[in-house]
Structure 1
Amino acid sequence: MRTRAGNVFAKARRRFPLTALVSVCAVFIGVAVSGGASPLPGLELAQAGHWIASPALDLVLFVNGSAKSVDAQVPVAGLEPGSQVVQGPTSGYVIGKSAIVRFGKSDLSVDGTLTPPSGEWPALVEASGGPYLVYREAGQVVRLGSGLTALPAGGPVGAPVATPDGTLWLNRLDSGALCRLAKDSGTVACRDDLGAGHTGGLSIAGDRAVFVDTTTDTIRRVSGDEPGEPVAIGKDLSPAAQIAPADADGRIAVLDREKRQLSLLDAGVLDAGRAPAQPIDVALPDGVYSNPTASASSVVLLDLTRHTVLTYGADGTRRQATAIPPESGTPQLVRGDDKRVYVDGGEGKHVLVVDPDGKVSQVPVTAEKAPVPATSPQPPTQQPPAQQPPVQPDVRADGPKQPPPVRKTDPPVTQQQKPIPPSPPGIPARLVARLQGGDAHVTWGAAADNRAAVTAYHVTWQPSSGAGAGAADLPGTARSTVIRGLRAGITYTVTVVAENSAGRGTPATAKVTGPAIPKPAITVTRGKTGTYEPDPSECSAPDCAKMHVVVKGFAPNTEYHFTPHCGCTYSNEGRSFTTDANGAVTFEAFDFGAVGKQVWVTSDNGVSSARYTWPPD
């Protein structure tokens, strides 16, 4: 479109030096940082390991699932029995009925207490954008992070699941609606997909949320804007059958207590053009069983009658049956973000770790043992042999004295203990990220080397939205780095991990927010002199020139429409321009030549420039 004075374009729019809890082969968590950055678009930070609460010790402890060790502890006084722990990028949360205690994962100290919105025990979900607490009976979702945000779901819900993109999925038990809470959304959105009276549960198959309907014996995909069509699973399920929250190598476990049967359903039936495989059934002996869950490639089930952990392959083959320590209390299954399953004892005294392949390992929980020294242990002290009564010589009346018999003694035994092998480094102490100008200055203390010198620190940073992720590698002597050019108003999660010959430790994290977003402003001055080509009579040099427009403080990467104005006879419909990542844009447009007249520019978000008196060339 042409105007009288220009072209118009269409509007497009560890509170203490880390006290290790170790037995002879303890391993510490570690984290560190580096320089020489290279971008990592779309970087997502997985939450390694699992935190547990031990009311008997008044401690919260970190279980390193890979190393099978307890690597860090946070003292928390007055832990409620039954408390659970959920972690976010930089903080952990001890969840009780009466209080939520927040602690820093980097400095290992308590830094706040929150009040839960309900007196019931919530379901815990660790996911990008969370963590989340789901109060199922109350129908309420709590997002933890910068405080506590309570979001209503509208009614009681089933067991929640989360897809890798951070979306939380729920099914309403009263109406049959399927609900989702997107990573950055403030609303739980529900849609009537199932209808009232349908039973079943949600699960994750690969990276998709699915619903196993035990009323119609079907499975359907629920991720995306529209639900998938239900597909028959080829099996009659009891309405009360329990669904595992994730698949194991493409099979979703379903526990049918009425039939004393564990069934493995083919989640690949949802793939277009693929015939469904028959369900695999595993007969179970009489007993009481927990709801099933899954590691990456194995199904995990608790036999509560025999106090045993059972693991099965995706083909239904039993892989391992492991007794749960009797003093562990009532156990429960927790699926970690590392795709391991943790069997928590109700009293926080033992943890069993189920690896992705179904192998089960026991991790004792104790704070009574002192750290093992780094030097090789000394041989045990040999006790002197017990005193024996003297042997009397043989004295005979009719012959000479016989010498006493020679007493044989065994040589002393010296038993050397095996040296403790190196393990990945510990968590760097006091990780801090501070904003200085437009940069983040990151500092940390040395990570425990754990019997092998720290050779490198690896640093990554991830913005809360948009581009700007990156990584850097620094030598083992480094204690700081600088992240340049933080975007205004954007929060970055900074992660530091240490590395030695035994591998990398678990990351320490901190957050830093870029410079404050400046107040939105538009500035107008005279730009390049020229003649309005479509009609020189309308605007000619030397009086005619473009308006030079500088825009700052607007939303980043957003299109705005700008319109020029004059306290005179002038008409121009304006043009649209898109701001950069910092919310700024500079352009020259809008031919004008009325010397001595005032001009100004407005945007479609209500911002106006100051009035500018047009000067001669």
Structure 2
Amino acid sequence: MTKLGNSLRLTLTSWRGTRFSRRLRTWVDVRSWRDRGPLRRGRLPLVLLVAAALAAVTAAASGVVAPAPGLQLAQGGHWVASPSLGAVVHVNGSARRVDAQAAVPGIEPGSQVVQGDTSGYVVGRSRIVEFGKSSLSVERTLTPPTGERPVGVEAPGGPYLVYREAGRVVRLGDPPATIPAGGALGEPITTSDGTLWLHRVDSGVLCRLAAGADRISCPAVAPAGHTGALTVVGERPVFVDTTADTLSRVADHGLGRPTPIGVDIPPTARVAPVDVGGRVAILDPAGRRMRMVDASGLETNRSGAAPITVALPDGAYSAPSVTGSSVVLLDLDRNAVLTYNSAGEQQRAIPVPPEAGEPTLSRGEDERVYVDGAEGRHVLVVDPDGAVGLVPVVGDGRRVPSGTPVSPSSVPDPGPRSPTPGPRSPSPGPPTAERPRGDGPASPRRTPPEPRSIPASPPGMPANLRAAAQGGDLRVTWSAAAANGAAVSGYRVTWTPAAGGTARSATRPGSARSMTITGLTRGTAYRITVAAQNSAGRGSPATVRATVPPPPRSVTVSRGSDTTYEDRCEEPDCAYFRIVLRGFSPNTDYHIKPDSSRWPDFNSGATRRTDSRGNLTFEDFPFDSVGSYVWVTVDGVQSNRYLWSAG
């Protein structure tokens, strides 16, 4: 086996879980077989899977290298981009160590890496660099369709880049393809067959892109005006309706029968991409809690067990992810990784090593969760049981020769570094004979060179960028950026609607660490960047997304225009109700039911539609009973009680 070297590394890993077939994965790293055809992941019985793996080893030893037909294998481990190394580094998730790297010059700060069967892709805002996983060298450079940071998805048939704001999907591979999705998108999910599922947030349409396909199909649509997100329960896609607070299977003919969740889920909720132990983790940021929702009712068409509520400290959190039997949260305020089991019990709370910028959380195709430092200097690996391990990537910051397996411990310690030395003092010891003088010229006396000044460079990325809603404004805070040889003279703050629109910006002094952004549209997500500048130029920006919450729903009743209705309602006592709705779902029909203290149920009500901002003002329901209190009820919200008087 030693002769195989890096040609073959085979690891069979059996994972605990109720769906054993989903937990079984095989990883084969076939670096010298790159042109023989990709190995793919499949759902074979255990005996056949072991037999196929043994056949692969036998074939390698005998020189027969054709892969077993139809065998699909999960991509093992995780690649991370390290701009300081000028390289991408492979982290072996099961062994928790770095085992290979490839040189990629000029990596853009904030780049992410996704991998396919034979290639990896370094995805930046202005370019996508493909490198061979067997050759460990750059093969080509692609241009992304937009400068937006995409969601990277590793799945059979991919990998994929989902540009949510632009509504486009890039399928990487040979050849790559850009596929329009028809509008802005929510968080994508994948099922075990490699199908990518997408939610058009503007229209509620639910679409799928099959592995290897070049166009999407859309078999279902959410109710008009309803918000929500997609997840996977029992290997099948499910729509979480945050307006109706229900779960529904996504089927070929549309949405299945809705199952009540049992608690109110706000439109701002973040949903885990897959269930854990039959429960779906749903983060409620405003409520400072996470709900563990029982999804068993999808099978019985009845409500499941009551949701489990996990209280969270004040702060900002990433969307929940899942690894094996654990839910993973990233606490951005305290810079920590939190893991929970399916019962909502906390398993681990591990601090993230400090780096400039915000760490990112991703779920590998091996179903582990990886937390990358913003500068690519470390990776935290979250195992299926919720255990967390740290893998240093950069070590002491020295470059390691590309194309060879490396680990942090293999990088020698260079010791203290100093300027170029001058003449060395003689070592102590016995005196030596005087050197005879020759006829040639005397050797010049060496003097230490004067130290050279290091030119200034643009500042580093501002650290700990945060944005929090304060009413209709956003409060943005950050920590100081590294000066890099020249004092930071200012910070450039830019904000743009996440779905597209006009960018606005302002400059704060170098001593500033915060700014309040006003004049924003409620209910709209914004992309905010902060970049430091000094005499050498402007540095790399830190980026954060934040949403200004919509105003609370309110209904107000007052006396409207005078009217005469038949012969029973005459002026000056008779007039219309004037009804004002604010903060409701946009472009949605609501039934307005009027009532009074003297004449209950005097009118059956009317259905009216809100405008694009969720507001509505109208007059209806003639009334003339002076001295009575009147009110209306809309979608469970009751208005003020208005004392009726003559006009």
Smaller-chain TM-score range? 0.5 to 0.7
Q: Which residue of 2 aligns with 1:340?
A: 368
Write the distance in 2 (CA, Å) between the matches of 1:152 and 1:30. Answer: 33
Write the distance in 1 (CA, Å) between the matches of 2:30 and 2:206. Answer: 40
- Which structure dedicates a bigger proportion of its chain to helix? 2
Please state how far the C-alpha of 1:184 moved relative to its aligned partner.
3.0
Q: Of 152, 155, 163, which residue of structure 2 is paired with 1:135? A: 163
Matched, 1:34 2:58: yes
Is this contact kept in 2: 1:48–1:338, CA < 8 A? yes
Q: Which residue of 2 aligns with 1:507?
A: none
Is this contact kept in 2: 1:221–1:229, CA < 8 A? yes
Write the distance in 2 (CA, Å) between the matches of 1:50 and 1:100. Answer: 17
Please state how far the C-alpha of 1:182 moved relative to its aligned partner.
1.1
Matched, 1:277 2:311: no
Is this contact kept in 2: 1:29–1:71, CA < 8 A? no
Write the distance in 2 (CA, Å) between the matches of 1:246 and 1:228. Answer: 18
Written as runs of structure 1 = structure 2, the 5 A alignment for 1:560-579 is: none
Write the distance in 2 (CA, Å) between the matches of 1:40 and 1:54. Answer: 35
Written as runs of structure 1 = structure 2, the 5 A alignment for 1:254-269 is: 254-269=282-297
CA deviation string 1:61-85 (max 9, x = no partner): 1110000001110111110011000
Q: Which residue of 1 aligns with 2:194?
A: 166
Write the distance in 1 (CA, Å) between the matches of 2:29 and 2:160. Answer: 26
Amino acid at match of 1:190: C
SS in 2 for 1:147: coil
CA deviation string 1:295-349 (max 9, x = no partner): 1110100111111110001001000000110126311110111111000111000
Amino acid at match of 1:255: L
Is this contact kept in 1: 2:221–2:254, CA < 8 A? no
SS in 2 for 1:222: strand
Write the distance in 2 (CA, Å) between the matches of 1:78 and 1:374. Answer: 26
The alpha-carbon distance between structure 1 residues 266 and 167, as it changes in their structure 2 partners (threshold 3 A), is: same
Between 1 and 2, higher relative CO (CA 8 Å, sep ≥ 6) is seen in: 1
SS in 1 for 2:193: coil
Runs of at least 5 residues in structure 1 that lack an aligned partner in the other structure: 1-16, 19-27, 378-617
Written as runs of structure 1 = structure 2, the 5 A alignment for 1:164-313 is: 164-272=192-300, 276-313=304-341
Is this contact kept in 2: 1:50–1:62, CA < 8 A? yes
CA deviation string 1:415-462 (max 9, x = no partner): xxxxxxxxxxxxxxxxxxxxxxxxxxxxxxxxxxxxxxxxxxxxxxxx
The alpha-carbon distance between structure 1 residues 227 and 42, as it changes in their structure 2 partners (threshold 3 A), is: farther
Amino acid at match of 2:206: L
Write the distance in 2 (CA, Å) between the matches of 1:139 and 1:226. Answer: 22
Q: Of 176, 185, 203, which residue of structure 2 is paired with 1:157? A: 185
Q: Which residue of 1 aligns with 2:498?
A: none
Q: Of 340, 362, 365, which residue of structure 1 is paired with 2:390? A: 362
Please state how far the C-alpha of 1:196 moved relative to its aligned partner.
3.5
Write the distance in 1 (CA, Å) between the matches of 2:121 and 2:292. Answer: 34
Q: Which residue of 2 aligns with 1:46?
A: 74
Structure 1, 221-230 or 144-153: larger mean CA deviation: 221-230
Is this contact kept in 1: 2:268–2:284, CA < 8 A? yes
SS in 2 for 1:299: strand
Q: Of 346, 350, 355, which residue of structure 2 is paired with 1:322? A: 350
Write the distance in 2 (CA, Å) between the matches of 1:54 and 1:39. Answer: 33
Q: Which residue of 1 aligns with 2:117?
A: 89
Is this contact kept in 1: 2:162–2:169, CA < 8 A? yes
Runs of at least 5 residues in structure 2 that lack an aligned partner in the other structure: 7-26, 32-56, 401-405, 413-647
Q: Give the % identical residues.
A: 57
Write the distance in 1 (CA, Å) between the matches of 2:185 and 2:232. Answer: 17
CA deviation string 1:254-289 (max 9, x = no partner): 010111111111122211367512111000111111
Please state how far the C-alpha of 1:148 moved relative to its aligned partner.
2.0
Is this contact kept in 2: 1:200–1:239, CA < 8 A? yes
Please state how far the C-alpha of 1:59 moved relative to its aligned partner.
0.8
CA deviation string 1:204-233 (max 9, x = no partner): 123111111111100111144543211111
Written as runs of structure 1 = structure 2, the 5 A alignment for 1:521-540 is: none
Is this contact kept in 1: 2:262–2:303, CA < 8 A? no
Write the distance in 2 (CA, Å) between the matches of 1:224 and 1:40. Answer: 32
* TM-score normalised over the length of structure 1: 0.54
The alpha-carbon distance between structure 1 residues 56 and 128, as it changes in their structure 2 partners (threshold 3 A), is: same
Q: Of 347, 352, 373, which residue of structure 1 is paired with 2:380? A: 352
The alpha-carbon distance between structure 1 residues 189 and 369, as it changes in their structure 2 partners (threshold 3 A), is: closer
Matched, 1:62 2:90: yes
Write the distance in 1 (CA, Å) between the matches of 2:248 and 2:300. Answer: 12
SS in 2 for 1:321: strand
